[in-house]
Structure 1
Amino acid sequence: MSIALQSWGPVEPLEPALSVRQVLSLERVLAGEPEVVAGASQLDRPVRWVHVAEAADVGVMLSGGEMVLTTGVLLAGDENAQTEYIRSLHRAEAAAVVLGLGRAFPTPPDVMRRAAERCALPMVVLHRPFPFAELTEEVQSRLVRRKFAAVSLSEAVRTALTTLITAGAPLQLLLDEIAQHAACPVVVTNLAHRVLATAGERSAVDDVLRDWERIARQAGGSEGDGWIRAELGGRGERWGQIMLCGHRGDTAGGRLLADRAAEALVLHRMLGGASAHTWEEQSAQSLLTDLVSGVVPARQLLPRARAAGLPVNRRTFVPLVVRDGDPVRLERVLRLLGMPGLVAELADGATAVLLSLARDQDAEALAAHFAARLRTEPGEPRTVVAAAAPRTVWDEVPSGLREAQHVADAVADSSAALGLPAVVRLKDVHLRGLVRLLRDDPHVQSFAERELDGLLCAAGDDLLAVLRTYLATGRNKSRTAQLHHVSRPALYRRLEAIEGRLGVDLDDFEQAASVHIALLAHDAQRS
């Protein structure tokens, strides 16, 4: 289903929370000639609010994060009160104290400065008279604007994601939207920290995945340097997490984005229903589809494979394509046999399987063991497993998957007639494989139509089926009559009709071979 949606565009990111350092750099504050006399190492503390207070027990009026402004008129001449004032601010976790020099304190008071240094509390003095009301107005207006920006961002993200979910958008579109708002790579993982999906600028995502093993080990640690997580789950069950990787904006804004994203992903998964592919399946499908197509170089896909949990260092890769196999059963068989691998459903009833084996394991024997075990599964007795030659170099995996797909296509709907082994390889498809490769060549198409012209009509369908069986059985008349439930004389009459329409003698080996090749090409083109 194609989805045509409004392009929302990025929301203006939240301004970072004002720090003490940023407040001191404001033009109105610079006019007061500020000087940091204590706690210079703590100037990056966030300022939640600005408060004017003179009382010695000011701490009882604070809730943390305030920048306190004072002239010290109630503290002058009382060193104990000055010390207690600083301690009270420290206990209340104030961001900083700003003292306006004047009649109370013409110079920075040493007692307050030493107490502030011991408490690691930034203490700033203003050497020129400064109206506190101007600083309060400036900072408060910035903080209020930021709060409104947070609400606006939250609603914009929620609206955009809800619209996508309502329209039935796939997971990737939601993640792309989240990454656009976050302006950083976004990664979704399961509880084992295996990557299920990513979004963001490709090169930045690749950088994250390249170092994913280290990142995954630290995933349970505290947030920092813009790495922000939100849990995914519902109804008391946790099943994954979403990570903003290297978010450059305000941490609070990043958490808001992550929380909104988590809400949307949980809703998306709930609305997906039991028939929807799991995210694990979608992740494997995206990776294997990219490998088969060759659009993305294999080396660029290596970090994705590693992050998805596929062992890639010093391994032997066995590319398989299974015809008419249930992906769920294939994954179950892999787990039962303890074989690391990825499973992904491709088009036309084919499923790709990429095994990752240790170098000292017998790749061909294990592939045969997998195929044999698969055929014991309910509903899988006629499954055809096509395999390419094992690859020990990751860059050769795409060609191996395409080889396996070609073999699977070549034996489509013909396994019973050809008596194929449990694991079919390129050497087993012979002429049929060559014709399959050349099926789209205009010369081959013209040849097939020319050779079969007398039967390529509605009236010739039954005769075409007889011809197909006759040639597939090695021109065995008894077997052909048996398979079509007709008598030998009736079959002879049909073969005569076929020879008459085509103008050939099917007893002549060269003419029969020419018709057989044309029929193989015709069937390959139709499929």
Structure 2
Amino acid sequence: MTITLDSLEPALSVRQVLTLERVLAGEPEVVAGASQLDRPVRWVHVAEAADVGVMLSGGEMVLTTGVLLAGDEDKQAEYVRSLYRAEAAAVVLGLGRAFPAPPDVMRRAAERCGLPMVVLHRPFPFAELTEEVQSRLVRRKFAAVSLSEAVRTELTALITAGAPLQRLLDEVARHSACPVVVTNLAHRVLGTAGERPAVDDVLRDWERIARQAWGHHPGRSGTGGGTEGDGWIRAELGGRGERWGRIVLCGYRGDTATGRLLADRAAEALVLHRMLGGAACSWEEQSAQSLLTDLVSGVVPARQLLPRARAAGLPVNRRTFVPLVVRDGDTGRLERLLRLLGLPGLVAELADGATAVLLSLARDQDAGALAEHFATRLRTESGTARTVVAAADPRTGWDDVPAGLREAQHVADAVADSAAALELPPVVRLKDVHLRGLIRLLRDDPHVQSFAERELGGLLRETDETLLSVLRTYLATGRNKSRTALLHHVSRPALYRRLESIQVRLGVDLDDFEQAASVHIALLAHDAQQQ
């Protein structure tokens, strides 16, 4: 059976201890520190010694009759102060022979320290209270350890099955019932999980959150006053003496100790997942890929993706965005080139060998010139003319970025099959693809498909595609026979015979502009449908 947080008892606080049936029998009254009753109780300790503070380690509810304090107000005040210094959860004084009424000195000292002080008006066996609270705390601790082991087992099984990072994070979020964020050491978000609205609330102001949360001691975390006590719990990611990231439970509502166990188990699993990842793309690459894929698909509105982009380190305020799609471009080379040129942006591999690049430029920078400089350097470094850099017009609004990425992808697809045969500028735009781009958009239309089959049927039925290849080159070169013969390594007379054979099979005259144009359109449609 899977253990979840719902199956755990709530953490015991001072307030909850005071509502236990056995405690109510003693008629408890809070006489000081009423605003601190939500302090967690780690243990219950019965002590009459005046120097009890040295015996404590923090979080204890101390039970006493005060028999050794009666008649000495200095000892009474110091007793309370020593409990405060030891970070006790509360002090419970049983009224009786030593103190028939709440001692005013102890009450005032407790109020000044903010230490909850409770008196019991009826005789009460402390053993019953310690037995009740200790048994509850032990059950709680056992349940937390069981949960920790269950999480470890489930995450290990996912890793063994080859699950992606997101699947692991989803499992951690399910157990913790709060947003989960993974970052690198620069606080850039590499992955998130949890209910989308809650995650977006966390990411919306992530830069400030990260700055304030990790400006403190390494053992603590917070968000503008949000400390571990407020449910912001983190664990470091790393191995072999080197840290490389963090996992954060954001707003965890359970007790802190259980939250730390969950965060530690999750961190162990993520480190193992990364170690076993081998040459797979890094978490940074996966994060960029997820974001850009969501932008291109349009499934998630751009406005909802803005917090993720900002948390991933992409500048988004008052920026000009340049959507690019690169064909035959290595992701690692593209990222290195962006760093070399000092261009902020995200890089992610899309389907069919395309790579999306989203540049984020200052408003006063020349977007067109920088995109062209980037494309020229890329072609030079790759050493091939087949590298295609397609771009959409710059966007100044984030909501327009998805349409820009889709436009750039469409342009890249439109020239992908003929990049070597065409004279392309460093950056190809929609105006450069002309008819080819339109056909690409309409390739799935049944009317276009029927037109292509009707026009080319005489050649499509041939098992030998030599004539189709010659036709493609002849039309792509503007019916330049010399160029076509050269590219196919045949003599002019041999080319003439092949062109004659093509015209016979198609029943057209390729010297007639309209008929040649019709065949060319049909061929573009046919080629687009094959991709």
TM-score, normalization by structure 2: 0.93
Q: Does residue 441 of structure 2 align to residue 447 of structure 1?
A: no
Residue equivalent to 2:276: 271
Question: In the TM superposition, what are the counterparts of 1:233-244 in structure 2 within 5 Å?
Answer: 233-244=238-249
Letter in 2 for 1:371: A
Distance change >3 Å, CA 426–CA 129, structure 1 → 2: same
The separation in 1 between residues aligned to 2:57 and 2:237, in whole angstroms, is 32
Q: Does residue 25 of structure 2 align to residue 37 of structure 1?
A: no
Contact 1:11 1:156 in 2 (8 A): no
Residue equivalent to 2:141: 147
The separation in 2 between residues aligned to 1:488 and 1:12, in whole angstroms, is 82
The separation in 1 between residues aligned to 2:286 and 2:338, in whole angstroms, is 18
Contact 1:35 1:124 in 2 (8 A): yes
The separation in 2 between residues aligned to 1:374 and 1:296, in whole angstroms, is 31
Deviation of residue 206 (structure 1)? 1.0
The separation in 2 between residues aligned to 1:302 and 1:433, in whole angstroms, is 30
SS at match of 1:238: strand
The separation in 2 between residues aligned to 1:56 and 1:219, in whole angstroms, is 39
Contact 1:444 1:521 in 2 (8 A): yes
Letter in 2 for 1:206: D
Aligned identity (percent) is 87
Distance change >3 Å, CA 22–CA 360, structure 1 → 2: same
Contact 1:206 1:303 in 2 (8 A): yes
Deviation of residue 208 (structure 1)? 1.0
Residue equivalent to 1:503: 507
**What is the alpha-carbon root mean square deviation over aligned residues?**
2.1
Residues 70-103 of structure 1 show CA distances to partners (whole Å, capped at 9, x for unaligned) of: 3344554565665565455445443322222233
Contact 1:454 1:460 in 2 (8 A): no
Q: Does residue 352 of structure 2 align to residue 348 of structure 1?
A: yes
The separation in 2 between residues aligned to 1:9 and 1:295, in whole angstroms, is 34
Residue equivalent to 1:22: 16
Distance change >3 Å, CA 458–CA 159, structure 1 → 2: farther
SS at match of 2:458: coil
Which stretches in structure 1 are left out of the alignment for 5+ residues? Answer: 1-6
Deviation of residue 121 (structure 1)? 3.7
Residue equivalent to 1:47: 41
SS at match of 2:289: helix
Residues 120-168 of structure 1 show CA distances to partners (whole Å, capped at 9, x for unaligned) of: 4433221112222221121011101111011111011111111111110
Residue equivalent to 1:429: 433
Residue equivalent to 1:338: 342
- Which deviates more, 135-144 or 378-387? 378-387
Which stretches in structure 2 are left out of the alignment for 5+ residues? Answer: 222-226
Residue equivalent to 1:214: 208
- Which deviates more, 65-74 or 181-190? 65-74
Deviation of residue 216 (structure 1)? 1.9
Residue equivalent to 2:192: 198
SS at match of 1:130: coil
Letter in 2 for 1:143: L
Distance change >3 Å, CA 516–CA 27, structure 1 → 2: same
Deviation of residue 396 (structure 1)? 1.0
Distance change >3 Å, CA 74–CA 331, structure 1 → 2: closer
SS at match of 2:351: coil
Residue equivalent to 2:101: 107
Distance change >3 Å, CA 341–CA 128, structure 1 → 2: same
SS at match of 2:421: helix
- Which deviates more, 373-382 or 83-92? 83-92
Deviation of residue 41 (structure 1)? 4.0
Residue equivalent to 2:256: 251
SS at match of 1:12: helix
Residues 151-201 of structure 1 show CA distances to partners (whole Å, capped at 9, x for unaligned) of: 111011111111111110111111111111111111111111111111111
Deviation of residue 8 (structure 1)? 5.5
Residue equivalent to 2:417: 413
The separation in 2 between residues aligned to 1:461 and 1:194, in whole angstroms, is 52
Residues 485-506 of structure 1 show CA distances to partners (whole Å, capped at 9, x for unaligned) of: 1122222221122112111122
Contact 2:5 2:176 in 1 (8 A): no
Contact 2:323 2:405 in 1 (8 A): yes
Letter in 2 for 1:322: V
Residue equivalent to 1:4: none
Q: Does residue 309 of structure 2 align to residue 305 of structure 1?
A: yes
The separation in 2 between residues aligned to 1:483 and 1:92, in whole angstroms, is 88
Distance change >3 Å, CA 276–CA 458, structure 1 → 2: farther
Deviation of residue 27 (structure 1)? 2.1
Q: Does residue 327 of structure 2 align to residue 323 of structure 1?
A: yes
The separation in 2 between residues aligned to 1:19 and 1:211, in whole angstroms, is 32
The separation in 1 between residues aligned to 2:2 and 2:70, in whole angstroms, is 58
Contact 1:15 1:250 in 2 (8 A): no
The separation in 1 between residues aligned to 2:201 and 2:73, in whole angstroms, is 56
Residue equivalent to 1:161: 155
Residue equivalent to 2:523: 519
SS at match of 1:360: coil
Distance change >3 Å, CA 216–CA 76, structure 1 → 2: closer
